[in-house]
Amino acid sequence: MILRDLERVSRGQLQMVTVEATECVAEAAKTMTRHHVGSAIVTGEGGKTAGILTERDILSRVVAAGADPNLLHVSDVMTRKVVACTLDTTITRAQQIMAGHRIRHLPIIEGGQLIGMISSRDILAHELSQIREIVRQQSRMLSDLETQHPGITAIERDSAGRVVI
């Protein structure tokens, strides 16, 4: 399955927050908090992508360093090399990219334009949805089997609660 098939993506819900490279880190953090996101695309001159700012950047380069987020610009702490994918990237490949680069947010670029962001949480939600669907299908199969052969799915337990076969 490819990213364009993820429910959030197919519904056009590719939330992407941007911050300016010249704004202070404190303001960027407030923007990220307000939008409930863990990363923001950093734009520079002419609105071009200059990097990405993540919670990890703020923690490691500002908080842990004891720096004042009101005095630092986003460009001072952002990650300059942006790792990205396309809508035709498979979910498995997106996971590999995230794991290989130790990142949780992956920008999506289509036709040279930045169109959104996918997170590891989005992928996990998709996988959970698939697992729930498998469970529903198997439950229906068991129900049908029980209808055709009453008692076949009954489970007996011993006095300790263990399943008896």
Q: How many folded domains does the chain comprise?
A: 1
pLDDT of residue 80: 94
Percent of the chain with pLDDT over 90: 56
Whether residue 99 has pLDDT greater than 90 = yes
- Comparing CA positions, the residue from 58, 53, 102 lying closest to residue 80 is 53
CATH number, domain containing residue 105: 3.10.580.10
pLDDT of residue 160: 92
Domain that holds residue 9: 3-119
Residue 16's pLDDT band (cuts 50, 70, 90): confident
Query: Would 159 be classed as within a structural domain?
Result: no
Query: Would 90 be classed as within a structural domain?
Result: yes
CA distance 44 to 70: 19
Tell me which of 6-10, 17-21, 79-83 is least confident: 6-10
Average pLDDT over residues 107-119: 85
Query: Would 58 be classed as within a structural domain?
Result: yes
Query: Would 139 be classed as within a structural domain?
Result: no
Query: Would 157 be classed as within a structural domain?
Result: no
- The DSSP string of 29-74 is HHHHHHTT-SEEEEE-GGG-EEEEEEHHHHIIIIITTT--TTTSBH
pLDDT of residue 66: 96
Which residue has tokens 């993540």?
54
Query: Would 131 be classed as within a structural domain?
Result: no
pLDDT of residue 25: 98
Query: Would 37 be classed as within a structural domain?
Result: yes
Query: Would 152 be classed as within a structural domain?
Result: no
Residue 8's pLDDT band (cuts 50, 70, 90): low
pLDDT of residue 147: 87
pLDDT tens per residue across span 43-98 = 988 878 899 999 999 999 999 999 999 999 999 999 999 999 998 999 999 999 99
Tell me which of 1-10, 32-41, 56-65, 101-110 is least confident: 1-10
